[in-house]
Amino acid sequence: MGKEELKKLIDEIVAAKRDSVFSKIDVVTNNIIEQLEDLKDLNDFLQYEIPENFKMAAPAPVKEPAVDRLHDYIDKISSAVNQLDLITSFLEGINAFCSRAALFLLREDKLVGWKGKGFSGQGGEIGDEEIKKIFFSLSANTTFKHVLDRRQGFFGPPSSQPDDHLIYSRFGGQVPDRILTLPFFVKGKPQAVIYTDTFQGRPIGRKEIEIIATVGEMSLDLLPLRQKILAKVKTQEFQDDPDDGRTPMPHQSYPPQQAYTPPPVSIPAPQRPAPPRPAPPPTQVRENDPDRLARVIVNDIILYNQKQVEDALRNGTLYETLQNTILQSRELYLNKFSDLSIFERQLVETLARGNKDALKGYNFETL
C-alpha cells in the first residue's frame, strides 16, 4: 500500500470516528434538553415550606487549606539566604504536618542531632535544643540506618527495626503512634536523616513533608550560588551608589577623589591651548579599588550570615562554619584583583574582628 493510499485510509477512519462522536453528542444534548423541559413541571414544589428541623445547619468555618501552609513554607525555604534560616524554616514546615520533627546529621559512623521541633521538654521528654546532645551509632539496627542503607523513606509503625527502642528511650518520652523517616540528600549524597512522628491519632502529612524535604534539598544545593548572586548584586549596588551609608573601617582612610590633570604639553605660540581632558568617571575609580571591593564583599558575608557569624565567633569555628561562603567570596574578589593580601586583611580585621585565630583552618597565602 502506497503512502497516498495509506493517508486516504487514515483520513476516512478519522472522519468516520468524528461523525460518530458528533452523533453521540447530539443524542446526549437532546436528552438534556428534554430533561430540562420536564423540570418545568416541578415549579409547584417551591410553594411548600421546609420544616425547621429539616433545614441544614450553617456550614462550619473553612479551615486554612494545607496547600496554603505548604506554599508559605516552600516560599520561606527557597528564599533563605543562609543555612541557618533555611534549616530553621525547613523544620518548621515539616513540623506543621506532624507532632514532632528532628534533623540528624551524618557524621562518619553516627548520626548527630542538629535540632528538633515540637519536643515539649515536659514529662520526661527532651526539648527541641536537647536534640543536639543525642547521637545514634550506625552499627545499631534502627530505622535511621534502614533509610540510609536503602536510600528511601520509611512510613509505618514506630518499632519496625530491632533497635528502634533506642530512639524513643533517648527522646525520653512515650512511643508515638506512627513515624515517617526520610534520608536527606545534599548534592546527591545522603547527609542527614529527617525524623517525624505523630501522637493521639493525629495524621502525618506524608506528601507535604516529602515535598518540603525535596524543596529543602534543592534549596540547600543552590544556596552557595544564590549567596554568590546576592553578593554580586549588593556589590554592584554599593559601587553604583557612592553615598551608600556604610562607614569605612577605622584602619582605612579614603582621600577625596581629585580631578585628573594632564601633564603640561609644549604648544607653539600661534596655536590655542588644547582644552583639558575630563576626569575619569567616578565609577571607574570605584571599580578599580581593590580595598573597597574587599570591604564590600566581607561586609556582605556578615550581612547575610549575622547569626552564624556571631555563634561561630563565640565557638571559635568561624572558618569551619562559613568555609564555602568565604572561599566563594575569595574567588569573587580574585576575579577582579590579584592582590589577595587586601582581601585576607579584611577577613581578619572585619569578619574575625581582628582575631586571626578565629579563622583557624583557612589557608592564608599572604598574612
157 within some domain: yes
Kindly state whether residues 106 and 214 are assigned to the same domain: yes
282 within some domain: no
Give the CATH number for residue 187: 3.30.450.40
335 within some domain: yes
13 within some domain: no
253 within some domain: no
DSSP 241: -
Kindly state whether residues 77 and 161 are assigned to the same domain: yes
Q: CA dist 97 to 42, 122, 208, 327, Å?
A: 48, 21, 7, 37
Q: What is the pLDDT of residue 60?
A: 57
167 within some domain: yes
Element (H, E) at 156: strand 154-156
317 within some domain: yes
Alpha carbon distance, N-terminus to C-terminus of the chain:
83
Kindly state whether residues 194 and 293 are assigned to the same domain: no
The set of long-range contacts for 94-97, using a CB threshold of 8 Å and a minimum separation of 24, is 94/194, 94/196, 94/209, 94/212, 94/213, 95/196, 96/69, 96/205, 96/208, 97/66, 97/196, 97/204, 97/205, 97/208, 97/209, 97/212
DSSP 321: H
Kindly state whether residues 117 and 210 are assigned to the same domain: yes
Distance CA 260, CA 280 (A): 7
Answer with the one of 176, 193, 222 that is the final residue of a domain: 222
Kindly state whether residues 214 and 358 are assigned to the same domain: no
3-class SS of residue 117? strand
Tell me the residue range of the domain where 119 lies. Answer: 66-222
Kindly state whether residues 107 and 199 are assigned to the same domain: yes
Which residues are registered as beta bridge partners of 137? 110
Kindly state whether residues 91 and 193 are assigned to the same domain: yes
Distance CA 135, CA 107 (A): 10
Residue 135 in grid coordinates: 547521637
Kindly state whether residues 216 and 87 are assigned to the same domain: yes
The 10 Å Cβ neighbour count of residue 218 is 13
Q: What are residue 115's phi and psi, to 5 degrees?
A: -170, 155
3-class SS of residue 326? helix
Residue 108 in grid coordinates: 562518619
Q: What is the pLDDT of residue 185?
A: 92
Q: What is the pLDDT of residue 249?
A: 42
Q: Indicate the number of domains in the chain.
A: 2
Which residues are registered as beta bridge partners of 54? none
Answer with the one of 186, 202, 222 that is the final residue of a domain: 222
Closest alpha carbon to 140 in 193, 217, 196: 193
Q: CA dist 296 to 85, 156, 232, 235, Å?
A: 22, 51, 10, 6
Kindly state whether residues 202 and 97 are assigned to the same domain: yes
Answer with the one of 189, 222, 255 that is the final residue of a domain: 222
Kindly state whether residues 79 and 201 are assigned to the same domain: yes
Kindly state whether residues 94 and 217 are assigned to the same domain: yes
| Mean pLDDT split into 10-residue runs, the chain, 367 residues | 75 77 72 65 53 57 71 90 88 95 92 92 90 92 94 94 93 91 91 94 92 92 80 62 47 43 45 45 55 90 88 91 90 88 93 91 87
Residue 354 in grid coordinates: 581582628
Residue 12 in grid coordinates: 476516512
229 within some domain: no
The set of long-range contacts for 251-254, using a CB threshold of 8 Å and a minimum separation of 24, is 251/349, 252/291, 252/295, 254/292
Model pTM?
Answer: 0.51
For residue 93, how many C-alpha atoms fall within 13 Å in the half-sphere facing its CB? 30
Q: What is the pLDDT of residue 199?
A: 92
Q: What is the pLDDT of residue 233?
A: 66
Kindly state whether residues 72 and 200 are assigned to the same domain: yes
Q: What is the pLDDT of residue 251?
A: 42
Q: Are 69 and 95 in contact (CB under 8 A)?
A: no
